[in-house]
A and B are shown apart, each in its own frame.
Chain A
């Protein structure tokens, strides 16, 4: 190997880290950073007089939606509102007394269990606490 060939190879090998140090930041840049997930595990979801029996509300739990149901006078239930099928937001159907996803007709019962339609898993359940006139939802 003569000197010219040696320099040639040196240049070629050196071009790899150079290219990598340009391309790597670019590829990483495309990846969105994890959104501040909201470290809070408890949120105020609603006030007592906001919901009558058999009514529901979609509330914000950090960056994600949750669903709060008032099943009876003092029975509040809360779940993640994201359907386990394809991420649509679910709603409460008072005619069926079920949680329903309008996208593909998935049904969950009042415990969040998937009972019919395509959803593969139950909805994640949250704890509810009534303090004064406020309803707090806690993720466990």
Chain B
């Protein structure tokens, strides 16, 4: 019976071809193999976000009048609502950290070199999409902190030369943060970004499948293991631990809701963005009002935008990696950037 159902489906869906591909997939073993698990962990955390996000949609109401109350309702009334929302919030933060680590490991292993340039580029775009999820999701509970953090964040986007004002009004749905902003952020958070995410994640995974895992230059591989079941099982152990950690975090530290946003109240002290935006926030804060003829914040935003573009294009200008050589200059630039980001983040959090 089981066999005949399988045969029936296989004749139509060609499972055996998928099986052939999976059977052929190997994961190289060497001293940096552990970093390969970060990709799978990222994907898993995204699935957690999709599942919990879909659940939250059953109760969340995207309007200035009701958003805060509906999240309050989820936290206080809905069965396991506190768990689902806290996991969504915690996983979002863990996800950003894991995505960044994933990127850093790929950077230092120079895994972006030919023929994997597009894997890197789609990956960096997925990082930006992840940050977009974080930025738009932060506002959705419509509380004081998020309200003013969004005011600051969108104001920064407004500093982009030429198109800044347009971006600002596009994001806010007008000159100010109102219920219209909430609607837009909601639409971006639950439709536009997930659609973009799917597009790029398919591109990303297709290439990972096509080219296999990259072995860093100058590293000797000590053989390989089968992706299925050996690697996937190890992946699964990590996912199980991740679920356990998320559930524990949600139970011990349920995500706070704070006070409902009031557009006519003065901003409370302690307004700050999510930690992963802190380095930009802090850098723009400490820049002088004008640098030469240019406004300080405009210059800051321009520098960050160019930095983001360069990050995407790394594979194109690392010519050494293409020939399988390490690139100490680029490595040191990477280390300096990471130190700068960490230092700015700590400074901002302590400030």
Question: Which residues of A are interface residues toward B (Cβ below 8 A)?
Answer: 18, 21-22, 25-26, 28-33
Contacts and interface: CB of A to CB of B under 8 A. Distances in A.
Contacts of A33: 77-79
A21 B68 CA distance: 28
B243 A22 contact: yes
A30 to B, nearest CB: 7
A29 B247 CA distance: 15
Contacts of A32: 78
Contacts of B84: 25-26, 29
A12 B80 CA distance: 26
Contact of A25 (B58, B79, B240): B79
A29 B243 contact: no
A31 B79 contact: yes
B81 interface: yes
Contacts of A18: 240
A28 B79 contact: yes
A104 B199 CA distance: 50
Contacts of B77: 33
A29 B54 CA distance: 11
B55 A26 contact: yes
B81 A29 contact: yes
Tell me whether chain B's interface is mostly helix, strand or loop, or mixed: helix
Interface residues of B, number: 13
15 contacts: A18-B240, A22-B243, A25-B79, A25-B80, A25-B84, A26-B80, A28-B79, A28-B80, A29-B78, A29-B79, A29-B84, A30-B58, A32-B78, A33-B78, A33-B79
Interface in B235-294: 240, 243, 247
A29 B240 contact: no
Q: Which of B78, B79, B240, B247 counts the most A-chain CB atoms under 10 A from its CB?
A: B79
Contacts of A21: 247
A31 B247 CA distance: 21
A31 B77 CA distance: 11
Contacts of B81: 29
B257 to A, nearest CB: 17
Given A25-B79, A33-B79, 10 more contacts: A21-B247, A22-B243, A25-B80, A25-B83, A25-B84, A26-B80, A29-B58, A29-B79, A29-B80, A29-B81
A32 B55 CA distance: 12
A15 to B, nearest CB: 9
Interface in B48-62: 51, 55, 58
Nearest to B84: A29
Nearest to B55: A29
A121 B68 CA distance: 41
Nearest to A36: B77
B331 to A, nearest CB: 41
Nearest to A34: B77
B234 to A, nearest CB: 13
Nearest to A31: B79
Contacts of B247: 21
A30 B243 CA distance: 20
Contacts of B55: 26, 29-30
A102 to B, nearest CB: 30
Nearest to B233: A11
Interface in B108-154: none
A22 B240 CA distance: 11
A21 B81 CA distance: 14
Contacts of B78: 29, 32-33
A64 to B, nearest CB: 19
A67 B75 CA distance: 35
Contacts of A31: 79
Interface string B5-26: 0000000000000000000000
A26 B58 CA distance: 12
Contacts of B58: 29-30
A32 B58 CA distance: 9
